[in-house]
Amino acid sequence: MASSIRIGLIGLGRHGLRYAQHLAANDVPDASLGAVWTRDAQKRGQLAERFGVVNAPTLQALAQSDVQAVVAAVPAGLHMPVVKACAAAKRPLLLEKPLARTADEGAEMCEAMEASGSPFMVAQTLRFDPLVLALADQLPSLGQLTGLSFEQRLEPRGLAWEDDPELSGGGVLMQTAIHTVDAARFITQASTTELLTATTGRVHYAHNEDLGLLHLRLSGGAHLPQPITADVRVSKIGGSRHMRFALFGREGGLEADFIDRTLIHTVGRERTVQAVPEIPTVPTVTSAFVQSLRRNTPCPVPARDALRSLQVIAEAYSAAGSAEGA
């Protein structure tokens, strides 16, 4: 594969534009923006002209154009046709999380890309956040891990697709908790993730859940000689933002505050606070994808790995008394 990889971008909403701007600004080494597609023809034409790239009339045309890989930033309900187009054109694909609306859809998408022989990565951006990397790096300092918790409160954004089961696949479990499940598995290197209980509720949304609580059991791997319980609490019901990981071990604790951007290491009553600046994860994730293509190495976040996190969320919907995406 050539050293400079031309990227076809599917989706030009708020998040898709981040990809376009970073690629256009040369923030992703060895990659450039080559073509764009979105359902809004007028917007697509304007942005294709703005970035000086191909205006693809369909996502199939984009996948078959003179690009060497595809990045897709669209709601989960549109992921299946994107995957089918990329599989048919044998194009490597970086797909925004979550992988799919349901576990069955996710498995079908993995099979399609595997049959095509094309690399398939999911953009689990939390894995690339310096705070998550610091938690993973300093985890051994806690001794035997005994527990993990995560809490995230986000403000409602008023985006119609977030409360549309067909497009989103679900509410906060699908839109936010799934990323936490993946990050917890990544930090602890757990080989097994089991759902214990799940509770969901609705405050502002009409169709999807906008608050949820999961209890998980993580086990297996070098860091977990004994299983631990992980609590995940997520919501989009208030006007404030809060996001914090906490790890508990026999020899201390670690807390990562994603709003203050601090890592707090506690032993007894002694606390050490370290500032951990934020970095733009979009160019970091895209660079990791591009470099795996150039070096012909496995994708940093294989789609099959993302599928396991999706299966946990599917089990949570079932346990909470609702079907996937309902």
Give residue 91's pLDDT: 97
Residue 212 lies in a domain: yes
Q: How far apart are CA 248 and CA 74, in angstroms?
A: 36
Q: How far apart are CA 238 and CA 154, in angstroms?
A: 7
Residues 101 and 43 in one domain: yes
Spell out the residues 6+ positions from residue 273 whose beta carbon is closer than 8 angstroms to its own.
262, 263, 264
Residue 44 lies in a domain: yes
Residues 136 and 189 in one domain: yes
**CB atoms near residue 140 (< 10 Å):** 12
CATH code, domain with 205: 3.30.360.10
Residue 246 lies in a domain: yes
Residues 199 and 81 in one domain: no
Q: What is the pLDDT of residues 202-251, one digit of tens each?
A: 999 999 999 999 999 999 988 999 999 999 999 999 899 999 999 999 99
Residue 172 · residue 86 · CB < 8 Å: no
Which helix H or strand E contains 127, and what residues bound it?
none
Report, in this order, helix, strand and coil percent for the chain, each rounded to 5: 40, 30, 35
Q: Which domain holds residue 84?
A: 5-123
Residues 203 and 257 in one domain: yes
Percent above pLDDT 70 for the chain: 98
**Identity at 254, one-letter amino acid code:** L
Residues 135 and 246 in one domain: yes
Residue 20 lies in a domain: yes
Give residue 3's pLDDT: 66
Residue 29 lies in a domain: yes
Residues 117 and 134 in one domain: no
Check pLDDT > 80 for residue 263: yes
Residues 186 and 48 in one domain: no
Q: What is the pLDDT of residues 299-315, one digit of tens each?
A: 999 999 999 999 999 99
The helix/strand/coil state of 116 is helix
Residues 94 and 16 in one domain: yes
Give residue 167's pLDDT: 86
Residue 255 lies in a domain: yes
Residues 12 and 118 in one domain: yes
* Structural domain count of the chain: 2
Residues 145 and 265 in one domain: yes
Give residue 323's pLDDT: 38
Residue 284 lies in a domain: no
Residues 102 and 187 in one domain: no
Domain boundary among 123, 149, 184: 123
Q: What is the pLDDT of residues 6-43, one digit of tens each?
A: 999 999 888 999 999 999 999 999 999 999 999 999 99
CA distances (Å), 45 to each of 19, 65, 81, 266, in order?
A: 17, 16, 21, 54
Domain boundary among 123, 152, 185: 123
**CB atoms near residue 145 (< 10 Å):** 23
pLDDT band at 326 (very low <50, low <70, confident <90, very high): very low
CA distances (Å), 203 to each of 9, 172, 314, in order?
A: 35, 12, 21
Give residue 222's pLDDT: 86
Domain boundary among 70, 99, 123: 123
Residues 112 and 71 in one domain: yes
Residue 141 lies in a domain: yes
For the chain, what is the radius of gyration of the CA atoms? 20
Q: How far apart are CA 178 and CA 101, in angstroms?
A: 11
59, two tokens: 């996502």
CATH code, domain with 40: 3.40.50.720
Give residue 292's pLDDT: 96
